């Protein structure tokens, strides 16, 4: 294994091995989690839906009042150069904007920071490993932690505020489960660390509306359902309804569509993946191969 096969980073216009990437210890991105980011998957040597991920990232930059001095074309060039240098053809590629270090030491004015862009890529990351999905993935509903309210931290802006997710993950792992889903303070299902949530009930696919990231893979699921003629709803999903669903599945750039076999003590499909979840998982792989969704990477 070469150092490049472990991943690469783009920082200040230079592509470097991932192990050499650094940000300053006084950067607000580190000290205040004052960062927005996005992740685009690399599948078989091409970015999947890169324009959509860039659009969302640029919307996050505007909402967070980040000025990184790069447009979409410049960011595309940086990401492509970085992935090409790494040689990775199946990868997890992150683009990041950090608030930066205050120009005046000790300042508490975010306007006085020099914002900056950096990126990194590593071998493809699965939110839930394929072998776990094959055996039947088990998900825990957090009991002691709720999702950060959207009027406190905007979930539409992808961020590093994982205090709620981390607490939920400890709870799930201690209970022997693979990952966690958080509810809001009204008892509705929201999302989990790195994924959106879906339920199949009465022949319809429903997914939470509030307190969640507007996931690109989530959008892909909704579009695939339209292609299959399956009705969808984006609305509040009470936990009781979710637990009574016919099947449930997750969506993420780190794994596509992931059918779930068990939530807490509730088994779905006799402890196996549901038929619609499996069909959408297979269709997602087909969508990643469609030319309209692929942006080629200029490998050397």
Give the pLDDT confidence of 172-182 residue by residue, as tens digits: 999 999 999 99
Instruction: Answer whether 168's CB lies under 8 Å from 180's CB.
Output: yes
- Mean pLDDT, all residues of the chain: 96
Residue-level pLDDT at 1: 62
Does one domain contain both 147 and 281? yes
Q: Are residues 147 and 277 in the same domain?
A: yes
Specify the pLDDT at position 273: 84
Same-domain pairing of 179 and 270: yes
Residue that has been written with the tokens 């470097």 in this structure: 16
Instruction: Indicate whether 195 belongs to any domain.
Output: yes
Q: Looking at the structure, do residues 267 and 143 belong to the same domain, yes or no? A: yes
- Give CA–CA dist 28/115, Å, rounded: 9
Q: Note the pLDDT tens digit of each residue in 163-202.
A: 999 999 999 999 999 999 999 999 999 999 999 999 999 9
Domain range for 229 is: 130-288
Q: Which residue has the tokens 């339920």?
A: 199
For residue 157, which phi and psi values (nearest 5 degrees)?
A: -100, 105
Residue 182 to residue 192: CA distance in whole angstroms: 6
Quote the number of domains for the chain.
2
Answer yes or no: do 95 and 162 share one domain: no
Mean pLDDT, rounded, for 210-220: 97
Assess if residue 148 is contained within a domain: yes
Residue 280 lies in a domain: yes
299 belongs to a structural domain = no
Query: Does 10 fall in a domain?
Result: yes
Residue 298 in any domain: the answer is no
Give, in order, the Cα–Cα distances in Å from 237 to each of 206, 213, 245, 260, 284: 8, 15, 11, 17, 24
Same-domain status, 136 and 275 = yes
Which of these three, 71, 97, 123, is where a domain ends?
A: 123
Cα separation, 18 vs 145, whole angstroms: 33
Let me know if residue 282 belongs to a domain: yes
The answer on pLDDT for 64 being more than 90 is yes
In a domain? residue 300: no
Same domain for 86 and 147: no
Regarding whether 84 and 181 lie in a shared domain, the answer is: no
Across 231-260, average pLDDT:
98
What's the mean pLDDT in 1-22?
94
Q: Tell me, yes or no, whether 47 and 72 share the same domain.
A: yes
Identify whether residues 114 and 218 lie together within a single domain.
no
Q: Residue 227 maps to which CATH number?
A: 3.20.10.10
Question: Could you tell me the CATH number of the domain that includes residue 100?
Answer: 3.30.470.10
- Number of Cβ atoms within 10 Å of the Cβ of 85: 18
pLDDT for residue 275: 93
Pick the last residue of a domain from 123, 144, 171. Answer: 123
Last residue of a domain, one of 101, 123, 145: 123
Beta strands in 172-271 (DSSP E): 179-181, 196-201, 204-207, 232-234, 247-252, 256-260, 262-263, 266-267
**pLDDT confidence of residue 269:** 78
d(Cα 93, Cα 9) in Å, to the nearest integer? 9
| Residue 244 token pair | 């009574």
62 and 81 part of one domain: yes
d(CA 274, CA 230): 15
Q: Are residues 136 and 260 in the same domain?
A: yes
């Amino acid at each position: 294994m070469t150092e490049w096969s472990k991943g690469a980073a783009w920082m200040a216009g230079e592509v470097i091995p991932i192990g050499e990437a650094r940000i300053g210890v006084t950067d607000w991105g580190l000290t205040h989690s004052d960062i927005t980011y996005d992740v685009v998957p690399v599948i078989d040597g091409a970015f999947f839906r890169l324009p959509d991920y860039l659009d969302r990232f640029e919307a996050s930059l505007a909402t967070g009042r980040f000025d990184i001095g790069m447009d979409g074309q410049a960011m595309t060039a940086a990401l492509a150069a970085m992935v090409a240098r790494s040689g990775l053809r199946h990868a997890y590629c992150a683009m990041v904007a950090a608030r930066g270090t205050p120009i005046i030491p000790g300042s508490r004015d975010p306007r006085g920071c020099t914002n900056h862009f950096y990126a990194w890529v590593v071998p493809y990351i699965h939110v839930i490993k394929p072998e776990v999905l094959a055996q039947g993935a088990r998900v825990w509903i957090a009991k002691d932690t709720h999702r950060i309210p959207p009027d406190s931290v905007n979930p539409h802006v992808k961020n590093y505020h994982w205090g709620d997710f981390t607490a939920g993950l400890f709870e799930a792992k201690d209970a022997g489960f693979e990952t966690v889903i958080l509810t809001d303070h009204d008892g509705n299902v929201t999302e989990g660390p790195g994924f959106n949530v879906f339920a199949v009930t009465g022949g319809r696919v429903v997914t939470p509306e509030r307190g969640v990231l507007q996931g690109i893979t989530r959008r892909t699921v909704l579009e695939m359902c339209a292609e299959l003629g399956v009705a969808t709803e984006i609305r509040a999903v009470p936990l009781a309804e979710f637990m009574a669903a016919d099947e449930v599945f997750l969506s993420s750039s780190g794994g596509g569509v992931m059918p779930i076999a068990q939530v807490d003590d509730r088994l779905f499909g006799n402890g196996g993946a549901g038929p619609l979840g499996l069909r959408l998982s297979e269709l997602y792989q087909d969508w990643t191969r469609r030319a309209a969704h692929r942006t080629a990477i200029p490998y050397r």
